[in-house]
C-alpha cells in the first residue's frame, strides 16, 4: 500500500527515506515476484484525522507509476470512497487519467468492506478486490478464505464476478503496529506460520507491506518469501494479482462431467474454456491420494496430491490442452 511517500510533504523529493519504489521492485524481481502498488486518489472530502501524504499528480508519484508498469508491476487503487459507486468510479478514473496507468484491482483504505462496497467495486469493473481482513490483533484470515473466491452481494443475494483475494498478511498487524505495540523478534515467525497454513491449504496469500517501510521491514518480507519458496522447493506460483483473478475467472468456466463405470471407476471429462490452455490438474479433487490410482493408456501411475493453483504437470504428463479439447481420466480406488 502506498500511504506515505515523503518524509516532508512540503518538500516533495524522491531522495528521502520514504520513497522506496525502486528498492521494492528490485527486491521482488530478485525473489521472482510480481508486485502491485495500491495508490490513493481521493475525490471526496476526508475525515479531519486523515492526512494524505501525496497527490497523484506529483512528479515523483508520476515517475513511480511509470517505473512500476515499466518493470512489470501493476497499479491498484487504495480506495477511500468505496461506499459510493460514482465516487469509486471517479477515484479510478482520476488515477488512470492523471497517472497514465491502467488500474486492475482495488483495496479499501483501512481495509473497510461492506456488501454495498463489494457490489460497487464489481460494477466499476475491477478485476479483483483485496480488502477482506480477519482482524488487527494477530496475523489471520477468515475461515474458508484461503482460496480466491467470488464474493456474495448479501443485500441482493447475487454472486459477483469480482474475484476476492482475501488472505492478507499485513505488515502493520504482523509487527503489532495497529494495536499500539511492537513485535520484533517473533514477527517474522508469525508471518511464516500464517503462510505455511495457507500453503498447506493450497491457497493464496497476499503480503501487504507499506511502501515506505522498506528500510525497517523488507528483511522480514524477504525471509517469509524465501521460507515459502524453500518449503515448496520453488514449486510455487508468484503471479501479479490480476493474473490470479484472470486464472480464477477462467477456472470457473471449466465444464466437467463424470459417470460411474463398474463398481470402482469413474470417467471424468473436462472441457476447458477457449482461453484456457494451462494445466487442468486443479479441476480434479482426489481426497485420498494414497488410495487412488489413475489409469492412463493401460499403465497404473501413482497419484500425487494436487495443488489448486498454478501451472502443473500431472504424474509427469503435461496437461496442456487445445481449446475445446475434452480430456478423459479414469479414476479407480484400490482396496
258 and 242 in one domain?
no
70 in a structural domain: yes
Q: What is the span of the domain harbouring residue 228? A: 21-247
Query: Is 276 in the same domain as 239?
Result: no
Mean pLDDT of 203-213: 91
Q: Please indicate, yes or no, whether residues 63 and 113 belong to a single structural domain of this protein.
A: yes
Top-confidence residue, 132 or 162: 162
Tell me how many degrees the CA angle 100-2-39 measures, rounded to the nearest 5.
Answer: 35
d(CA 192, CA 3): 25
Q: Kindly indicate the confidence band of residue 29, based on its pLDDT and cuts at 50, 70 and 90.
A: very high
C-alpha cell at 133: 481482513
Residue 306 pLDDT level (bands cut at 50, 70, 90): very low
Quote the pLDDT of residue 181.
62
Q: Which residue has the cell 511502501?
A: 211
Interval 55-103: pLDDT, tens: 999 999 999 999 999 999 999 999 988 888 999 999 999 999 999 999 9
Asked whether residue 107 falls in the same domain as residue 235, the answer is yes
Cα(126)–Cα(242) distance, rounded to whole angstroms? 9
3-state secondary structure of 207: strand
Question: Is residue 111 located within the same domain as residue 136?
Answer: yes
Average pLDDT estimate for 312-320? 41
Confidence of residue 266 (pLDDT cuts 50, 70, 90): low
Do 223 and 155 share a structural domain?
Answer: yes
Could you count the other beta carbons within 10 Å of the beta carbon of residue 233? 7
Q: Could you tell me if 266 and 310 lie in one domain?
A: yes
3-state secondary structure of 258: strand
* CA distance readout (Å), 46 to 5, 43, 58, 80, 85: 19, 9, 19, 8, 17
Helices (H), the chain: 21-31, 59-70, 85-99, 115-124, 171-174, 187-200, 214-231, 241-251
What CATH number does residue 74 fall under? 3.20.20.370
Please report the pLDDT score of residue 248 as a whole number: 82
Does the pLDDT at position 108 exceed 80? yes
Query: How confident is the model at residue 10, as a pLDDT?
Result: 83
In a domain, 10, yes or no: no
Mean pLDDT of the chain: 77
Residue 212 has pLDDT above 90, yes or no: yes
- Domain assignment of residue 15, yes or no: no
pLDDT at residue 200 tops 80: yes
Which among 149, 189, 145, 151 is positioned nearest to 167, based on CA atoms?
145
How many structural domains is the chain composed of?
2
Stretch 285-304: mean pLDDT: 37
**pLDDT band of 136, cuts 50, 70, 90:** low
Contact 257, 269 (CB under 8 A): yes
Of 52, 48, 40, the C-alpha closest to 107 is: 40
Separation between Cα atoms, residue 151 and residue 162, nearest integer Å: 7
Residue 33 has pLDDT above 70, yes or no: yes
Residues 6 or more apart in contact with residue 74 via CB below 8 angstroms: 34, 35, 36, 37, 68, 104, 105, 240, 241, 242
**Does residue 214 share a domain with residue 285?**
no
150: pLDDT confidence band, cut at 50, 70 and 90?
confident
Least confident of 86-90, 129-133, 168-172, 292-296: 292-296
Are both 257 and 327 inside the same structural domain?
Answer: yes
pLDDT of residue 297: 35
* C-alpha cell at position 314: 500431472
User: Final residue of a domain: which of 185, 219, 247?
Assistant: 247
How much is the pLDDT for 307?
35
Residues 6+ apart with CB under 8 A from 327: 269, 270, 272, 280, 319, 321
Q: What is the DSSP secondary structure assignment for residue 213, as one 8-state letter? A: G
Q: b/e string for 6-37 if b means 16 or more Cβ within 10 A? A: beeeeebeeeeebbbbeebbebbeeeebbbbb
Domain boundary among 230, 247, 264: 247
Residue 2 to residue 183: CA distance in whole angstroms = 22
Are residues 260 and 206 part of one domain? Answer: no
Model pLDDT, residue 87? 92
| Residue 4 in domain | no
Of 213, 247, 281, which marks where a domain is finished? 247
Residue with more model confidence, 329 or 177: 177
Alpha carbon distance, N-terminus to C-terminus of the chain: 53
Return phi, psi of residue 221, to 5°: -55, -50
Amino acid at each position: 500500500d502506498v500511504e506515505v511517500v515523503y518524509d516532508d510533504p512540503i518538500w516533495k523529493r524522491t531522495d528521502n527515506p520514504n520513497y522506496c519504489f525502486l528498492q521494492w521492485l528490485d527486491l521482488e524481481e530478485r525473489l521472482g515476484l510480481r508486485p502491485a502498488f495500491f495508490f490513493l486518489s481521493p475525490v471526496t472530502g476526508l475525515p479531519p484525522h486523515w492526512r494524505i501524504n501525496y497527490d497523484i499528480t506529483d512528479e515523483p508519484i508520476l515517475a513511480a507509476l511509470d517505473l512500476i508498469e515499466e518493470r512489470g508491476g501493476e497499479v491498484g487503487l487504495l480506495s477511500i470512497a468505496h461506499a459510493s459507486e460514482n465516487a469509486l468510479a471517479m477515484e479510478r478514473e482520476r488515477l488512470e487519467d492523471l497517472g497514465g496507468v491502467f488500474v486492475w484491482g482495488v483495496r479499501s483504505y483501512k481495509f473497510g468492506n461492506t456488501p454495498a462496497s463489494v457490489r460497487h467495486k464489481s460494477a466499476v469493473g475491477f478485476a479483483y478486490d483485496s480488502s477482506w481482513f480477519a482482524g488487527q490483533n494477530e496475523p489471520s484470515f477468515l475461515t474458508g478464505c484461503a482460496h480466491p473466491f467470488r464474493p456474495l452481494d448479501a443485500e441482493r443475494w447475487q454472486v459477483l464476478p469480482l474475484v476476492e483475494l482475501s488472505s492478507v498478511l499485513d505488515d502493520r498487524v504482523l509487527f503489532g503496529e495497529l494495536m499500539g505495540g511492537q513485535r520484533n523478534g517473533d514477527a517474522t515467525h508469525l508471518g511464516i506460520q500464517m503462510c505455511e497454513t495457507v500453503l498447506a491449504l493450497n491457497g493464496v496469500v497476499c503480503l501487504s507491506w507499506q511502501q515506505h517501510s522498506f528500510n525497517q521491514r523488507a528483511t522480514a518480507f524477504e525471509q517469509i518469501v524465501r521460507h515459502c519458496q524453500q518449503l515448496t522447493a520453488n514449486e510455487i506460483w508468484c503471479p501479479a494479482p490480476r493474473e490470479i483473478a484472470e486464472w480464477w475467472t477462467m477456472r470457473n468456466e471449466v465444464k466437467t462431467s463424470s459417470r460411474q463405470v463398474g463398481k470402482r471407476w469413474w470417467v471424468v471429462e473436462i472441457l476447458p474454456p477457449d482461453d484456457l490452455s494451462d494445466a487442468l490438474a486443479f479441476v480434479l479433487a482426489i481426497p485420498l491420494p494414497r488410495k487412488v490410482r489413475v489409469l492412463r493408456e493401460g499403465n497404473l501411475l501413482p497419484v500425487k496430491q494436487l495443488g489448486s493453483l498454478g501451472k502443473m504437470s500431472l504424474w509427469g504428463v503435461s496437461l496442456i490442452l487445445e481449446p475445446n479439447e475434452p480430456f478423459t481420466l479414469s479414476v479407480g480406488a484400490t482396496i
